[in-house]
Amino acid sequence: LVLAATGTAALSLAACGTSTIDAAKGEQEISKAVRVQAGVPVKEVVCPENVKIEKGGKYVCTVTAKDGTTGKVSVVQKDDEGNVSFDAPFIHMDEAEASIITQIEEQVPNAKGVEVDCPDIVVGEKGGTFECDGTAGSEKFTVRATQTDGQGRFRFTTKQS
């Protein structure tokens, strides 16, 4: 059972002396939250420049992980002073990998040295799928997972490569 990491933070992103959001500050805060809450090794975050500060205003930033996978972060302006909250609905993939390994080891008692490598960013969405590469000793296999609820829970099957 792996729950999606929903990074929600309230912070001020007003650029000094302007009426626009400080994109660089937003990118930095989103990067930190996604790293800490979802365990994603973040390569970069890109947010739009020159976003006017306005209560209820919305925009989207793109997070790119070190493995090249990407995900979208929705940002909502809470007021007209640059305070925002954001939602990064990414599954904590380190936990997903550990869960897959544990289940394989429990179901295949003679499985030795099981390792699984999944994408760094997977968006939590019911019915969403992802694939991971795995090894057990000299045997290679593929894990195919389907999310059951959009909250990070999933079922998986394995197939020898």
Label the pairing between strands 58-65 and 42-46: antiparallel
Q: What is the pLDDT of residue 13?
A: 64
For residue 122, pLDDT over 60 is answered with yes
Average pLDDT over residues 65-85: 91
CA distances from 136 to 104, 110, 112, 144 (A): 10, 10, 6, 16
Token pair for 55: 């209560």
* pTM of the shown model: 0.85
- Give residue-wise pLDDT tens across range 16-50: 666 888 899 999 999 998 988 888 999 999 999 99
Of 7-11, 21-25, 147-151, the one with minimum mean pLDDT is: 7-11
Residues facing residue 30 across a β-bridge: none
